[in-house]
Structure 1
Amino acid sequence: MKRFFLSAVALSALAVPAFAADMPARTYTKAPAFTAPQVVYNWTGFYIGGHLGGAFAGNNSLEGNNARFLGGVQGGFDYQFAPNWVMGVEAQYSWMDRNTTNFGFPGATVVSSTGANQLGSVTGRLGYTWGPALLYAKGGYAWRDGNGLGVNVAGVPAGFTTSGNTKGGYTVGAGLEYMFAPSWSAKAEYQYYNFGNTTFTGGPAPVVGSRFNSDEHTVKLGVNYRFGWGGPVAGKY
């Protein structure tokens, strides 16, 4: 029995190196390179913000085309889909400096126009986003506080009537918005407001029948806060 046990041990010692020699060589596998997570921007959510800029009435407007300072607030909701498109709704309110312009008519009649000092709008908007940038167009309903017309003849105020001097109208615009930090975005925007035409239907003879357009061109720079829904929200590896 002892001889049998020693023979088995010796045979095993000889067999192990031979078996190891027959095994294939171990393949070296290189560890995958580290890839930084890709930031994904999400525009879906509510936001509020403020803006500053300037307003310029059209050449055929009672307010003239002098620039006026503008500032205000905005708020809205955006929804991102498909996956680079963004649609939403926005309400905006702006204050402006008043602007008085005098127009001379034959017979020494002067029309004094004190411009509207408040503008508002409720618009839909549609945009295309790539990374942190959003290019968009907007359009909808516009409102103003009136344009404060006055007619003077030789320095004496005179009565008059008008048609089409409305407070409601439409607005269209476009802009570029950029997320510069989580939940924060900045924008540059052009917006046009149109309130139709104003026609003098009564008053001193030189002004009756005169017709003017009521509109505003605005340029705004603004900042929005997105309540934690904007900015990088996930990573792809």
Structure 2
Amino acid sequence: MKLITANTVCGTSPAILLAASLSFAGTLPEAASDTFASAPAGFVWTGGYVGVQAGYSWADATVVYEDTIDGGIADGYAALAPRGAMGGFYAGYGHQLANDVVLGVETDLQFGSASSSAQGRLRSGGEDADFRYTSKLDWSASLRVRLGYGAGRFQPYVSAGVTVAEFDFSRTTVFPYLPISLSNTHAGWTIGAGLEYAATDNLVLRTEYRYTDFGSQDLDLLSNGLRPTATLRTHDVRLGLAYKF
């Protein structure tokens, strides 16, 4: 039997070893290429999206009525607090910069059931038994710019912009005063903050808080010498699900 010694290996097989090494080395680029090609890429927030949302809205809606006939004797107000569910749609586009800052623009439209009713109060003190007021926030829409930060599949963000809403208003009363029922479109500004999570490359979940100030607006109706003015401010918490293109 012939023994294979270290000298035999070192002396007789360098060419074989070299050939085997070159052959193995030649497979490395291909193997590395396959490995990196299959590695998942980091999530990028650039793209458009459309989504649905639902949540809860609460508001402060103060109605002040000015007595223009009797020298202010009937001046009064009603402190309304509409509450209720809301739901709607949103769409937008975001662009992620090299430093992971995400700039975007977004619009939304929602419908709600937030409503409230309250008895009038006289400025001189006491309840105004002649008037009872009801308010309802019918729908609202906004156009906002967004600033976020892409932390992998998470994106915290803030947004701000302009908004409009339809505010239904009614007043029940006793003779000789006239009942009022009307809808007014209010314009204002809105600001909010939220957090998004990309559950997949196309499905994005979000939670958001929004504050909206519609300011004060005359209700465009002078009835029996009483001119009503409404001040409306709302708070929303929302959950959303969007499809990202």
TM-score (norm 2): 0.68
C-alpha distance in structure 2 between counterparts of 1:166 and 1:67, whole Å: 19
Higher Rg? 1
- State the aligned residue count: 200
C-alpha distance in structure 2 between counterparts of 1:214 and 1:59, whole Å: 5
- Is 1:85 the counterpart of 2:119? The answer is no
Q: Kindly tell me: are residues 59 and 158 of structure 1, through their superposed partners in 2, closer, same or farther at Cα, counting changes over 3 Å?
A: closer
Deviations 1:149-200 (A, max 9, x none): 233333776267xxxx652111110100000012110000011121102467
Q: Please tell me whether the aligned partners of residues 102 and 110 of structure 1 are also in contact (alpha carbons under 8 angstroms).
A: no
C-alpha distance in structure 2 between counterparts of 1:155 and 1:70, whole Å: 36
C-alpha distance in structure 1 between counterparts of 2:84 and 2:161, whole Å: 23
Aligned to 2:80: 64
Aligned to 1:117: 138
- Is 1:153 the counterpart of 2:173? The answer is yes
Match of 1:171 among 173, 183, 190: 190
Q: Please tell me whether the aligned partners of residues 141 and 170 of structure 1 are also in contact (alpha carbons under 8 angstroms).
A: yes
Deviations 1:53-108 (A, max 9, x none): 01100375768334311000000100000331101000100010151412322442
Match of 2:42 among 32, 40, 61: 40
Match of 1:197 among 202, 205, 216: 216
Aligned partner of residue 40 in structure 1, secondary structure: coil
C-alpha distance in structure 2 between counterparts of 1:45 and 1:131, whole Å: 15
**Which amino acid counterpart does residue 178 of structure 2 have in structure 1?**
A
**Which amino acid counterpart does residue 70 of structure 1 have in structure 2?**
M
Displacement, 1:111? 3.8
Q: Kindly tell me: are residues 193 and 152 of structure 1, through their superposed partners in 2, closer, same or farther at Cα, counting changes over 3 Å?
A: same
C-alpha distance in structure 1 between counterparts of 2:170 and 2:133, whole Å: 5
Aligned to 1:221: 239
Q: Please tell me whether the aligned partners of residues 108 and 143 of structure 2 are also in contact (alpha carbons under 8 angstroms).
A: yes
Match of 2:164 among 140, 143, 147: 143
C-alpha distance in structure 1 between counterparts of 2:89 and 2:161, whole Å: 17
Q: Kindly tell me: are residues 43 and 104 of structure 1, through their superposed partners in 2, closer, same or farther at Cα, counting changes over 3 Å?
A: same
C-alpha distance in structure 1 between counterparts of 2:114 and 2:209, whole Å: 20
* CA RMSD after TM alignment: 3.6
C-alpha distance in structure 1 between counterparts of 2:115 and 2:40, whole Å: 50
Displacement, 1:125? 0.4
Structure 2: gaps (5+ residues): 1-6, 22-27, 64-77, 123-127
Q: Please tell me whether the aligned partners of residues 166 and 196 of structure 1 are also in contact (alpha carbons under 8 angstroms).
A: no
Aligned to 1:183: 202
**Which amino acid counterpart does residue 68 of structure 1 have in structure 2?**
G
C-alpha distance in structure 2 between counterparts of 1:46 and 1:144, whole Å: 25
Aligned partner of residue 88 in structure 1, secondary structure: strand
Q: Please tell me whether the aligned partners of residues 150 and 157 of structure 1 are also in contact (alpha carbons under 8 angstroms).
A: no
For CA contacts below 8 A with separation 6 or more, give which structure has more relative contact order: 1
- Select the structure that is richer in helix: 2
Deviations 1:21-45 (A, max 9, x none): 9x9xx9x9xx999888354011111
Q: What fraction of aligned residue pairs are identical, expressed as a percent? A: 24
Q: Kindly tell me: are residues 100 and 125 of structure 1, through their superposed partners in 2, closer, same or farther at Cα, counting changes over 3 Å?
A: same
TM-score (norm 1): 0.70
